[in-house]
Amino acid sequence: MLNSDQKSFEQFVREQQGPLRRFLLNLSDDATLSDDLAQEAFLKAWVALPRFSRRAKMSTWLFRIAYNCWLDNRKEVARRGVERADEAERLRVEADHTYNSDDSYRNQQLMLALDRLNESERTPLLLFYMEDKSVREIAEIMALDRSVVKMRLSRGRTHLKENLLTLGYER
């Protein structure tokens, strides 16, 4: 893979496309944006492939690139003064009009509770629970010390539980 073998990279893209897009969708709450960011991350990874040093797993390296793309997009949006839509209201309306089953309703409550977390707590939770990344990998993706990741996971779990209780979540 390190010699920029196109077929190997294409296989890597096929393997990582779903998890990467899901991660970016959970961060951005925008399917189109998450697809664009995933494409940008894969392109940047392809260009930087000769410099990949194997200090981390290749998937961790890719998620770090994608996370940086997402952060850059947030900065650009803020710089232009574009405000983020009220995601909680959008999800509530979607839940009222689209979802009927109890499982879907509970999933919506979870997504609302996650959305209420700040980015520094939501991102590690998403990486740990939805993308099965280890604390070490999350630390590399987010450029944080492992102890900080553990603290954010702990605080994120606590705040997520509080948010779920506020929303009336029942097991």
pLDDT digits 0-9 by tens, 141-162:
999 999 999 999 999 999 999 9
Domain ranges for the chain: 6-80, 87-166
CATH of 6-80, one of 1.10.1740.10, 3.90.226.10, 3.40.50.720, 1.10.540.10: 1.10.1740.10
Instruction: Dump the DSSP string for the chain.
Output: -TT--HHHHHHHHHHHHHHHHHHHHHHHS-HHHHHHHHHHHHHHHHHHGGG--SSS-HHHHHHHHHHHHHHHHHHHHHHHTPPPP-HHHHHHHHHHHH--SHHHHHHHHHHHHHHTS-HHHHHHHIIIIIS---HHHHHHHHT--HHHHHHHHHHHHHHHHHHHHHTT---
Of 50-59, 100-109, 126-135, 144-153, minimum mean pLDDT range = 100-109
In one-letter notation, the amino acid at residue 137 is E
CATH number of 87-166: 1.10.10.10
pLDDT digits 0-9 by tens, 13-54:
999 999 999 999 999 889 999 999 999 999 999 999 888 888
Distance of CA 151 to the CA centre of its chain: 18
How far apart, in whole angstroms, are the C-alpha atoms of residue 43 and residue 154? Answer: 34
Is 51 within 8 Å of 3 (Cβ atoms)? no
CA angle, residues 130, 152, 147, in degrees to nearest 5 = 110
Q: Give 15 or 98, the one with higher predicted confidence.
A: 15
The yes-or-no verdict on residue 108 having pLDDT over 60 is yes
